[in-house]
Amino acid sequence: MRAMADPRQRVPGTDRVLAEPAVAAAVQRLGRRLVKEAVHAAQERARAGEISPADVTAEALAALPKSASSIRRVLNATGVLLHTNLGRAPLSAAAVQAVQEAAGTTNVELDLHTGRRGPRGAAAISALLDSVPRAEAAHVVNNGAAVLALAATALAQDREIVLARGEMVEIGAGFRIPDLLTATGARLREIGTTNRVRLDDYRAALGPDTGFVLKVHPSNFVISGFTADVPVAALRDLDVPVVVDIGSGLLHPHPVLPREPDATTALRDGADLVIASGDKLLGGPQAGLLLGRADLVQQLRQHPLARALRVDKLTLAALEATLRGPSTLTDNALRQDPAQLLRRAELLAEALTAAGVPACSQLSDATVGGGGAPGVTLPSAAVALPERFAKPLREGKPPVIARLDQGWCLLDLAAVPAECDDELRRAVLAAS
């Protein structure tokens, strides 16, 4: 009697699977190495008896990611609009289109009219100045900390930076503003106390070694009670440059966040230079924005360090489109009607309940996040699911990042565009 053939012998070979038209197309899209790893994994499953040898190709294709990058689009249902772990501000459709256009060969440093080399980022700088007419000049580097490092190096190396103790902040991942400033060769002249600083403190600290006065907005914490601060307008008559780091990136006052500092107001009040971030409340790409006096901006722009901090063509394209394009997703989220958010949550909970998933809608509190508007809550609405949904949602396609609260998995809709509601419903059903 003949022995039965080993089923592992029926597992298709690697070259045979790679030659399948759908797999070959995936190789063109993702690269041979990534696809080959998926094929090997499917073959091992077939040898272990977990899948049929006939299903190796389909299993390999199903395991492939949409792109060759490990960075994946997620649905932000945390209720934090600018979640640092999720990349802060999502780009608008106009900015995404601009990035796609800029991904190939571009005119980033070419004047198409003359055919000669043109100034890098001129269009983005022009858009920034059009957005903030009070600024005489502007410059863009790769993030807010980079602008601060450039200012300290160009204006205060081997000199003093006057800074209130209550503004010596620590931002994400243990990164401290004082450490950054002193790493440039500048010296810090601390004034005031943690909770109170006066104009006389600034005046007394000035001397021949003063490079500039720095004001840093404490964008990720709030000090309340027995406090005193000195507004920018009170510093305008000091005989040194006043540099204001507003943090979260508002270019103009915002009706939803009336207490959040903005670049236009800071410049109007007498700031010589204003530093802001591009990927926070502005709603654009990661970038450090510098606005203010033309002579100081030029001094920073011409410093050798500026070359090391310059942004790439993708950032310039996204920034210009953010500034000139339609309302950003961040601004849309800030201006949402809480009643509409609750209605969306109710409809989503009803659809899930009808499909057998235990869900209910409820009011919620969202936050700005990303080091912006500390202590401010935004009225929102959420769908509450059992806590066990959090992990399968996070591992789904697309991943859904929820907020855990008192044993519930909350899907806060503040940062979820309305057009994604059906996608969110399907993700929950897949995770059930």
Per-residue pLDDT of the chain in tens (432 residues, 90 and over written 9):
444 556 667 899 999 999 999 999 999 999 999 999 999 999 999 999 999 999 999 999 999 988 899 899 999 999 999 999 999 999 999 999 999 999 999 999 999 999 999 999 999 999 999 999 999 999 999 999 999 999 999 999 999 999 999 998 887 667 789 999 999 999 999 999 988 999 999 999 999 999 999 999 886 677 778 888 999 999 999 999 999 999 888 999 999 999 999 999 999 999 999 999 999 999 999 999 999 999 999 999 999 999 999 999 999 999 999 999 999 999 999 999 999 999 999 999 999 999 999 999 999 999 999 878 888 999 999 999 999 999 999 999 999 999 999 999 999 999 999 999 999 999 999 999
Domains of the chain, earliest start first: 11-63 (no CATH), 75-87+331-431 (3.90.1150.180), 93-327 (3.40.640.10)
Residue recorded with tokens 């077939």: 46
> One-letter amino acid identity for 233?
A
Q: What share of the chain is helix, strand, coil (3-state, %, to 5)?
A: 40, 20, 40
DSSP states of 289-334 as a string? EEEE-HHHHHHHHTSHHHHHT---HHHHHHHHHHHHSS--HHHHHH
Q: Which residues contact 136 (CB under 8 A, 6 or more apart)?
A: 292, 293, 294, 297
In whole angstroms, give the CA distance from residue 332 to residue 351.
Answer: 25
Q: Hey, is 407 helix, strand or coil?
A: coil
Taking each helix axis from N to C end, the angle separating 421-431 and 338-354, rounded to the nearest 10 degrees, works out to: 40
Cis omega (within 30 of 0) for bond into 253? no
Residue recorded with tokens 């090997």: 40
In whole angstroms, give the CA distance from residue 96 to residue 99.
Answer: 5
In whole angstroms, give the CA distance from residue 249 to residue 246.
Answer: 7
Measured CA distances, 105 to 100, 119, 286, 314, 321 (Å):
11, 16, 22, 11, 18
Say if CB 392 and CB 355 are below 8 A apart: no
Q: Which residues contact 165 (CB under 8 A, 6 or more apart)?
A: 190, 191, 192, 193, 194, 197
